Structure 1
Amino acid sequence: MARYTGEEALRMVLDSDEEFTISSDEERDSDDECLHFEERLDPAEDKIPDETVAPSPDSCTRKARRCRSVLSSLENHTEMVTTPSPASCTGRGRRPRSVFSSIQNLIECEYNSAKEPVSKRCKANKQPTLSWKTETDVDMVPQALKFLPAQEPGPQLRPCDAHTPMSLFKMFFSETAVSTLCQNTNAQAARACAKGHKYKWTDLGISELYCYIGLLFYMAMVKMRSIRDYWRQDSLFSVPFPATIMSRDRYRTISWNLHMSHPDADKDNDRKRGTAEHDRLFRVRPLMDTIRHACKAIYHPRKNLAVDERMVACKANTGMTQYMKAKPTRWGFKLFVLADSSNGYTVDFAVYTGKSNFPTGHGLSYDAVTSLLDHTVLGSGYHVYMDNFYTSPKLLTDLFALKFGACGTYRDNRKDCPRNAANSLTKKSVRGSIRWLRDRHLVFVKWMDTREVSVCSTIHAAYTGDTVQRRVKAQDVWRTKSFPCPAPVTAYNQHMGGVDLSDQLIQYYSTQHKAMKWYRKIFLHFLDIAATNSFIIHKELYGTMTHKEFMEELIAELCGVSQKITPKRTSAHHVPVPGTDQASDATAGRRICVFCKAKHGKRQDTPWKCQACDVHLCVQLKRNCFLEWHKDV
């Protein structure tokens, strides 16, 4: 029987695949032999710690399987090449290594390599790192998602019906929802009166609550310093309209007691505070669900959507208010908003109440986006744009699996984003430089503008020849220059402003003002959403009114008055003139005032008369009979 040295045996083991191949049956037999051989190893020497898991035999490479096969053959058909020397037995010499120990070390090396992360294996093997490509490299155009909306995009209304501002607003604040508001407000007022609050209260009705909402919109358009100023009657700057709708005290008592949920149900919910069953938004939940359902039912968005935050100013200590330094409104309730990029329509929204309410484990930004994108309601093929708070490779990949394209700026420190890749942008990179990497349907793009811009997309190719115009200074002269721009950046700048446009429309005539209760601030924001969405739908249907004209008509219809009231004006011919030419006698030309004689039965002489009426009338600071006489003219 042939005998082999250790070097010859190892050379046989490490032969190439062409010289040594094993069929599938032989591989299965070798695995069995491998398991049989591992059972014979000394447990004390091959003990695996509890925190590590040994790879299964299936995870071994082909070369390791060949090693075990040869090892088994050598064990059955060969003898040890070397034998221990006496010195090794006594511990004074080195123990010679056998063929089996050499092969076993090779197998252990394969195991340890399989357990290391890919990044460590690449670094240990000195494999080349990723390298950014430039705009000169051609990127494949990703396969476009077919746009299949659940309904025809646009207003979901019959075009044959005539829709006024009031009728559109009532689709969000229906009479059923307003009736519930009245019932809960009356219950809250009765509870307050039972506690000893001393003010007169009569039950609130649907028409009166609509008038109250109309006054809120009126105050949004006509700004005064305080609520009391709207009912002042002794000032040059007094406004007469609010007093004709309801008294000041009635307005204030409605504001104090306005309630969206029933007070008894509030008490039951408050008892659950600190448990998983407690609902922080219970006091606004009934109306919020109604508004959200109406936003999705009345209008179906077009292809491009935007996701962003919206702040509702409030500093109440509720545990839900947030501080956002970069926002114009820094303190308040944070809402995650899904808007149509084409017109700013608020498609859906969610009030942020804390991280514990997003339990999927993928992070707040991931859950906020996925909770707003309902496949059954929207359909598929939509393009969603977001900022770097939301964008992550995990989110964009999962949205692509749901047939939603996505694009957004990203942060380099996000998980799975490319870092430390060669040929990246630096601070010295020239303006317009482009770098990109593609991972299947996901493309990462970096672009140098005044600073570095990082965008990730599943919709666009890296660069398609787009350019942007920028003002640059050369030799003390400002000139317009074209720079190459990646396709994801161009699309992001075009479609990301959906929520910003919605915020802009809301802020024009916002009903927000100081309030004692936090849920009243959210109620006012619901009014803003309903009025703004109503205006957008009216513009889509008719396009005949400006935003201001729409709000004026809405206020008039809510308050039940006519906006087209012609004010009473004095004719240009009715002007006071001297009764006669002034003579040396001071009493010449004075006649009796006809208004004082008829109204008060007094004789008052005056030198003034009306040019058109030709009657003498008093014109004094404290007695203006001329003005009183012409009120009915």
Structure 2
Amino acid sequence: MERKKLAKDRAGPLQTHSMKDWSKDVSTQSLDSDDYGSDDDLYYSKRLDPAEDELNEDDSDTVDKMSSAEYSGEDELRSPPSSKRRRCSSARAAKPTPPWNTGKDVDTDPPEQRFYPLRTPGVQMSFTDTHTPLDLFKLFFSERAVKTVCDNTNKQAASNVAKGSTYKWVDVGVHEFFNYIGLIFYMATIKLDEIKDFWLQDDIFSIPFPATVMTWDRYSSITWNVKMSDPHKDQENNKRKGTPGYDSLFQAKPLLDTIRNACKAFYHPHRNLVMHDGVTTTKSFKFFILADASNGYAVDFAVYTRKSDFLTGEGLSYDSVMSLMNRSYLGSGYHLYTDSFYTSPKLFRDLLGQNFGACGLYREHRKNCPRSTSNALDKSSSKAAIRWIRDGPLVFVKWMDRKEVSICSTIHPAYSGEKVQGWVKPKTGGSMPKLYPCPSSVVDYNRYSSGVEVPYQLIQYYSTQHNEMRWYTKLFLYFLDIAAMNAYTLHKEMMAQRQKTTLTHKAFMEELTAQLCGVSSKVSLKREGCEHVPVPVAAPRPDASKRAASAHMACLMCKIDNRKQSTPWKCKVCDVALCLKMDRNCFEKWHK
């Protein structure tokens, strides 16, 4: 629960950027209405799958009490209103299930799977080459891809100007667009309430750097017009709306495909994979990410809209996994760990048919999951009590921790003697460690799922997401997050291989931001139009013969240094007298 609270606390205050100063016409343009009008939409908003989750009227508390919320970091799930709840048939209660076995009963070991990756797992580049943060970022956001975005952005701007937009537009090029991306990362690192606040001047809270890269008008005009697809082809796609030929993700496809291909090209995952949801700020689309459990690298991802390309008819949780577990790219023998949204007996059996093992938390109201109450765990069960049922290659295990944990696996036996450390409070006071029996499936699930949590909590510190933007602009920003996170993962892997010091995530993002903006991260900024200049302490006398005797004042820096020295110069802004001589520059010393 602490991990869940930490994730919420970290994610909560980050979505603070607002575009309301200049995007009133933008916020209304979304992929679809954010109101969930269909039964499927209502289910997904609660992380339920209508093709798999079977809820009756008496199941209203089932989802609330699922132990998966504690172990996978999921938000607590609320079952939909009864009027929208998908009801199962009466055959559910009539389906016979065997009684639960205990931890003392012997289970058969599952067949061992041979691991055959198509490439050697790890970074698919030479470790001898030196790669800067910008070099690694450009593996995913290449100059060619950015050139395509620039061309489409320029077309969009020309179209808007032709329609009567009054702002001035100069075509954006690749170099300037990388500067623009650098500013996005800069604003993701330094949080202000409004984006326009980064361009405030003449204020003690002013931040001078963004204005040295580009003006506010230029930044906002690029943001108005940023476009991943050709706007003329968008119109052709829109004409097909309502037909099978319509592509709801057409406006994101050019860059989406480029990023996905790059994710798979430059890294091959190790054996253990994790399936999880990406963090988004809109209901218009959802991300499904397949990540390497050892470091969080996004191996592949898919975008789900309400008109998804997942067409197997087996449900969203099934389709999202099967679309990413690609044997022709991965190889075979991989182990996939999933949370309770994805886990289902059909999915795990079909993955096993492709020589992929799987382990994940499951929900009792999922189709074909055991619901036997004979010898089941209850509130009186002791801590670390174990119950299990084997159904062919699947083993369903329940383990009592603070709450009941339900897990399904095709790669673990029910219990093979593992123990985990807990704490007990003796009557004498204090606390002392104690070993408890724990199923290996629970041990491995916690190990590999937590390996992905840390990188994606870190990315929330520097999330580029803004509020009130077009849906495809949100996708564009999410692609930036994925590219930056994967670039940092490559950096860590390559530095570890070369036995060199790895940058922290913060240092990496700062260096990447500086390189995108074309400056050094250690640059000394000087504001243009600075008024700190030397001026006479008094107006010079009109008589040229008496100008040498013009008014003098005691130099403040000399006074501080216990010297008595007068000077005819003072700072225009500070209004203090300061020496300005060949052998003593008190003016410079004061302003340092």
Residue 608 (1) aligns with residue 566 (2)? no
Partner of 1:445: 397
Partner of 1:354: 306
Residue 162 (1) aligns with residue 130 (2)? yes
Residue 431 (1) aligns with residue 389 (2)? no
Q: 1:142 aligns with which of 110, 116, 119?
A: 110
Gaps of 5+ in 1: 1-116, 124-128, 315-319, 322-332, 569-593
Residue 551 (1) aligns with residue 509 (2)? yes
Q: Identify the range of structure 1 (482-491 vs 499-508) with the bigger mean alpha-carbon deviation.
A: 499-508
Q: Greater Rg, structure 1 or structure 2?
A: 1
AA in 2 matched with 1:501: V
Residue 459 (1) aligns with residue 417 (2)? no
CA distance in 1, matches of 2:474, 2:519: 27
CA distance in 1, matches of 2:319, 2:92: 28
1:88-99 equivalent positions in 2, closer than 5 A: none
- Deviation, structure 1 residue 154: 0.7
CA distance in 1, matches of 2:313, 2:196: 50
Q: 1:281 aligns with which of 216, 232, 249?
A: 249
State whether residues 293 and 449 of structure 2, in contact with CA within 8 Å, keep that contact through their aligned partners in structure 1: yes
Q: 1:337 aligns with which of 289, 292, 299?
A: 289
CA 1:364 to 1:554, structure 2 compared with 1: closer, same or farther past 3 Å?
Answer: same
1:424-465 CA-to-partner distances (Å, cap 9, x unmatched) read 212211111101122232111111111211111011111111
State whether residues 337 and 346 of structure 1, in contact with CA within 8 Å, keep that contact through their aligned partners in structure 2: yes
Q: Secondary structure at the match of 2:171?
A: coil
Partner of 1:303: 271
Q: Secondary structure at the match of 1:335?
A: strand
1:102-181 equivalent positions in 2, closer than 5 A: 130-181=98-149
State whether residues 275 and 336 of structure 2, in contact with CA within 8 Å, keep that contact through their aligned partners in structure 1: yes
Residue 422 (1) aligns with residue 374 (2)? yes
1:8-38 CA-to-partner distances (Å, cap 9, x unmatched) read xxxxxxxxxxxxxxxxxxxxxxxxxxxxxxx
- Deviation, structure 1 residue 256: 0.5
- Deviation, structure 1 residue 192: 0.5
CA distance in 1, matches of 2:221, 2:93: 67
CA distance in 1, matches of 2:163, 2:571: 56
1:264-318 CA-to-partner distances (Å, cap 9, x unmatched) read 111111111112211111111110110111111111111110001123103xxxx
CA distance in 2, matches of 1:286, 1:457: 38
Q: Secondary structure at the match of 2:301?
A: strand
CA distance in 2, matches of 1:169, 1:429: 52
Partner of 2:461: 508
* TM-score normalised according to structure 1 size: 0.70
- Deviation, structure 1 residue 119: 10
Q: 1:530 aligns with which of 483, 489, 493?
A: 483
CA distance in 2, matches of 1:533, 1:118: 44
State whether residues 555 and 577 of structure 2, in contact with CA within 8 Å, keep that contact through their aligned partners in structure 1: no
1:223-275 CA-to-partner distances (Å, cap 9, x unmatched) read 22222221222011211111111111111111110000011111111111112
AA in 2 matched with 1:507: Q
AA in 1 matched with 2:393: H
Partner of 1:243: 211
State whether residues 515 and 521 of structure 1, in contact with CA within 8 Å, keep that contact through their aligned partners in structure 2: no
Q: Secondary structure at the match of 2:278?
A: strand
RMSD (Å) for aligned C-alpha atoms: 2.6
Q: Identify the range of structure 1 (517-526 vs 493-502) with the bigger mean alpha-carbon deviation.
A: 493-502
Q: Secondary structure at the match of 2:405?
A: strand
Q: Identify the range of structure 1 (226-235 vs 471-480) with the bigger mean alpha-carbon deviation.
A: 471-480
Partner of 2:60: none
- Deviation, structure 1 residue 471: 3.2
CA distance in 1, matches of 2:150, 2:92: 63
AA in 2 matched with 1:559: C
Residue 379 (1) aligns with residue 331 (2)? yes
CA 1:144 to 1:179, structure 2 compared with 1: closer, same or farther past 3 Å?
Answer: same
CA distance in 2, matches of 1:372, 1:501: 22
**Structure showing greater relative contact order (alpha-carbon pairs closer than 8 Å, 6 or more residues apart):** 2
Partner of 1:59: none
CA 1:280 to 1:449, structure 2 compared with 1: closer, same or farther past 3 Å?
Answer: same
* TM-score normalised according to structure 2 size: 0.75
Q: Identify the range of structure 1 (190-199 vs 551-560) with the bigger mean alpha-carbon deviation.
A: 551-560
Q: Secondary structure at the match of 2:387?
A: strand
AA in 1 matched with 2:204: L
State whether residues 281 and 467 of structure 2, in contact with CA within 8 Å, keep that contact through their aligned partners in structure 1: no
Residue 368 (1) aligns with residue 336 (2)? no
State whether residues 346 and 502 of structure 1, in contact with CA within 8 Å, keep that contact through their aligned partners in structure 2: no
CA distance in 1, matches of 2:367, 2:295: 34
- Deviation, structure 1 residue 470: 2.6
State whether residues 182 and 204 of structure 1, in contact with CA within 8 Å, keep that contact through their aligned partners in structure 2: yes
Q: Identify the range of structure 1 (147-156 vs 618-627) with the bigger mean alpha-carbon deviation.
A: 618-627
Partner of 2:20: none
Q: What is the percent sequence identity of the aligned residues?
A: 51
CA distance in 1, matches of 2:534, 2:366: 84
CA 1:567 to 1:191, structure 2 compared with 1: closer, same or farther past 3 Å?
Answer: closer
Q: 1:629 aligns with which of 581, 587, 590?
A: 587
